[in-house]
Amino acid sequence: MHSTSGYERGQAIVLIMAVMVALLGFTALAIDGGRVYADRRDAQNAADNAALAAALAVINEGDEVADALALAAVNGFNNDGTTNTVTVNYPPADGPYAGDDEYIQVKIWALTDTSLIQFVWSGQLANQVEAVARAYGRNSPVTGNAIVTLSNCAEDGDNTIEITGGGNSGGVQAFGGGIWLNTTETSGSSCALDPGNNGYGITSDTGINSTGNYTYSGNGMVSPNPINTGQNNGKPIDDPLSFLEEPQCTSSSTESGGVFTPGNVNGSDLGNGGTLDPGIYCISGDLALSGNSGLSGDGVVLYFIDGGLRFTGNAGMTISAPTADNCLGTDGDRTASCTYKGIAIFVSRSNSSSIEVRGNGGDAIFGLIYAINSTVQARGGGSSSDETSVVGQVISKRVEGNGSGSFKVTYDEDRTFEVPPIIELMQ
């Protein structure tokens, strides 16, 4: 009879070795896996901080690459090319923000030192992480443009800026700043601009900029021609003031001797004109000025809740937006005009009523007209091409010039809303 004890002892040794290898593998997974996880967390934190540092450098017109690399090094990733690499892409090279110069991308690749995993795994363990930060404000298409139109005619079909009506002196003219066309129209269309055949056409002394690629080359009523195409990497911008809450009035406006106090007011109550004390006027219904009536005020915000603005006859308006010197309340409070410094007319984002900025009188609006879902119009048969004047900026869905007088907008950075720099981590 043969003994099996030696064979069994051999089997036991094999089983013990297998168990030891398995235990070693689990131990390696627990120790080195935990180290990989901890290293990944450190790398992600470093990438996040580096991306935010790069975004701050963009806002401050510094060196975004140098600042990102410096902060990554402070957090333990020195970009030595062996144990770790740090890559800074401005704009991002890939992903959902690729090519958009509002965003900065930081990628970190780093090896992890291991203790036991090499007994069961011969390869390297490494982490690769990514962070994207947004730097908005300095390069905003809003900055430097007298007229900013947000309609995309390639989608909604309406002309973005057009001249209608008769007369030989009509036009839409921008001075001291450009015109922004938020349309993606292609070379096979010409829907953004309809300048008509008479008058001044559609002009800017500093350029017309479009996200699309249609140049209007050869159109004598558009100047300069061709326009600057493919702006913002061909991507339309969103509401540039989306972060700003709409104004609010907590009391009713009162009137005495033709002088109004700020507050909630029906548009019809202002129809006969008068003087507006500084503050916010929350207007319900249409404000229609006619005849020889005039409305004036310094440091005011006209907030149109559900109505529009119209002029007929010789009616006119001269108003200026709040400034640091005459605004009321605490910045950030919806009831305070200090929150809306530089904004003369704020049309509710849900309000599509038209805003007309003239009749036959010489009127001037000093500040920003913000009407992202409305058409801003120059109406009436004025005798002077310079009769209609906005000194500041217009941000609207569409702009329309109608009649003999020219719709003139002169860009003044000191008389428009200052878009604060925004730095945020996106991923």
Q: Does 105 score more than 60 pLDDT? A: yes
**pLDDT confidence of residue 346:** 98
Q: How confident is the model at residue 10 (pLDDT cuts 50, 70, 90)?
A: low
- Residue 308: which pLDDT band, with cuts at 50, 70 and 90? very high
> How many structural domains is the chain composed of?
2
Question: Do 40 and 172 have their domain in common?
Answer: no
pLDDT, average across residues 292-313: 92
- Predicted local confidence at residue 335, as pLDDT: 98
Which among 114, 136, 158 is the end of a domain?
A: 136
Residue 416 banded pLDDT, cuts 50, 70, 90? very high
| Dist CA 206 CA 146 (whole Å) | 10
Residue 264 clears pLDDT 70, i.e. is over it: yes
More confident site: 29 or 313: 313
Pull the structure tokens for residue 39: 């290293």
Give me the residues paired with residue 264 across strands: 252, 282
Bigger pLDDT: 364 or 412? 412
Strands 126-136 and 103-111: antiparallel
Domain's final residue, options 68, 101, 136? 136
Please tell me the predicted confidence (pLDDT) of residue 123: 52
Domain co-membership, 271 together with 320: yes
In a domain, 11, yes or no: yes
For the segment 252-279, the average pLDDT, to the nearest whole number, is 96
Asked whether residue 42 is domain-assigned, the answer is yes
Q: Which of these ranges, 64-68, 141-145, 301-305, has the smallest mean pLDDT?
A: 141-145
Boundary-marking domain end, from 84, 117, 136: 136
- Give 301 or 8, the one with higher predicted confidence: 301
Judgement on whether residues 117 and 208 belong to the same structural domain of the protein: no
Residue 218 DSSP one-character state:
T
C-alpha of 191 from chain center? 23
pLDDT at 361: 46
Q: Specify the amino acid at residue 277.
A: D
Percent of the chain with pLDDT over 70: 83
Distance CA 184, CA 155 (A): 8
- Same domain for 99 and 241, yes or no, is no
My answer on whether 151 and 292 are in the same domain is: yes
Indicate if the pLDDT at residue 324 is higher than 80: yes
User: Residues 64-92: pLDDT tens digits?
Assistant: 999 999 999 999 999 999 999 999 999 99
DSSP letter assigned to residue 360: S
| pLDDT beyond 80 at 382 | no
- Whether residue 159 lies inside any domain: the answer is yes
pLDDT of residue 358: 72
Enter the DSSP assignment of 155: H
Which range is most confident: 7-16, 18-27, 144-153? 144-153
Mean of pLDDT over the chain:
86
Tokens found for residue 371:
């009407």
Residues 319 and 240 in one domain: yes
Going by pLDDT thresholds of 50, 70 and 90, the confidence category of residue 39 is confident
DSSP 234: G
d(CA 323, CA 369): 15
Query: Does residue 427 sit within a domain?
Result: no
Q: Find the Cα–Cα–Cα–Cα dihedral 374, 301, 267, 292, rounded to 10°.
A: -100
Pairing of strands 84-89, 388-402: unpaired
Q: Which residue has the tokens 């900029």?
A: 209
Within this chain, do residues 160 and 179 fall inside the same structural domain, yes or no? Answer: yes
Q: Is the pLDDT of residue 224 over 90?
A: yes
Domain contains 226: yes
Q: Give me the pLDDT at residue 315, please.
A: 80
| Residues 150 and 89 placed together within one structural domain of the fold | no
Q: What is the mean pLDDT of residues 301-322?
A: 91
What does R_g of the chain's alpha carbons equal in angstroms? Answer: 31
| Domain residue limits at 28 | 5-136
Question: Tens digits of per-residue pLDDT, 109-131?
Answer: 998 876 545 555 555 678 899 99
pLDDT of residue 364: 83
Report the pLDDT averaged over residues 32-36. 63
- Cα separation, 414 vs 31, in Å, equals 60
Residues 155 and 108 in one domain: no
pLDDT at 281 over 90: yes
Is 98 in the same domain as 194?
Answer: no
User: Residue 179 has what pLDDT?
Assistant: 97
Q: 383 and 283 in one domain?
A: yes
Beta strands in 90-235 (DSSP E): 103-111, 126-136, 145-149, 161-164, 171-175, 178-181, 193-194, 201-204, 208-210, 222-223
| 150 and 106 housed in the same domain | no
Tokens for 148? 């900013």
**Which of 119-128, 156-165, 358-367 has the largest mean confidence?**
156-165
Q: Stretch 262-280: mean pLDDT, rounded? A: 96
For 60, residues 6+ apart whose C-beta sits below 8 A from its C-beta are none
In a domain, 239, yes or no: yes
Q: Which helix (H) or strand (E) holds 35?
A: helix 5-59
Q: Give helix 64-74 / helix 5-59 axis angle, nearest 10°.
A: 140
Dihedral sign from CA coordinates of 214, 217, 222, 225 = positive
Question: What are the pLDDT digits (tens) for 204-213?
Answer: 999 999 999 9
**Nearest 10 degrees: Cα torsion 281, 285, 286, 287:** -30
Percent of the chain at pLDDT exceeding 90: 59
Residue 30 has pLDDT above 70, yes or no: no
DSSP 51-118: HHHHHHHHHTTS-HHHHHHHHHHHTT----SSSEEEEEESS-SSSTTTT-TTEEEEEEEEE---SSGG
Nearest one of 37, 65, 41 to 51, comparing CA atoms:
65
- Please tell me the distance from the alpha carbon of residue 280 to that of residue 253, in angstroms, as a whole number: 10
365 lies in some domain = yes
Strand partners, 371: 396
411 within a domain of the structure (yes/no): yes
